[in-house]
Amino acid sequence: MRITISGSPGSGTTSLGKILAERHNFRYLSAGEVFRSLAKEQGMDLAAFGKFAEENPKIDVQIDAGQKEIGEADDNIVLEGRLAGWMVENADLKILLYASPDCRSERIAERENLTPEEAYSATVKREACEAARYMEYYEIDIADPSPYDLIINSETFNQEEVITITESAMAIVSTKQKEQ
């Protein structure tokens, strides 16, 4: 099964992706982790590297093309990234996680040892930067949920509930595939 997971920073995409991959023995690929490692290599935080990427389109294009190529070729994979649902057209299940900006900022603040205000400010800037790049490079409105099969509010449902909902959807997709 080929699964994509998308959502804004702090919505729980990485946690869900890693858990699903581990439980189902799927490969896991995160565009965000690739982006973070590139930022670290350049000695930049995410906001600074986002601005750098804005000035150097090759960075995003390379990450996105690589994710698309791997995702479309691998049958047992979980791909996590803001554009995964848009890029991997042949995914069996495309998931979008949602949580309010305040909730996501609190989560980010906790994991990155920031104040909620600092996390909120950095997240808003990062999201605006990403949205502009995605529109410029691909004419993708990242706020458009139309490519997704399943949208889950990770603020309403806790992590285990999000996993249960996702695995239920996976079982339905699997059953439908066997019937075809």
* C-beta of residue 108 within 8 angstroms of C-beta of residue 16: no
pLDDT-derived band at 35, boundaries 50, 70, 90: confident
Q: Does domain 2-153 fall into CATH 3.40.50.300?
A: yes
Length of the chain: 180
Q: Which residue do the tokens 């973070």 mark?
A: 36
Please give the structure tokens belonging to residue 129. 């930067």
CA dihedral for 160, 165, 166, 170, sign (positive or negative): positive
What pLDDT digit, counting tens, does each position of 116-175 carry?
999 999 899 889 988 988 998 899 999 999 999 999 999 999 999 999 999 999 999 999
Q: What is the pLDDT of residues 78-89, one digit of tens each?
A: 999 999 999 999
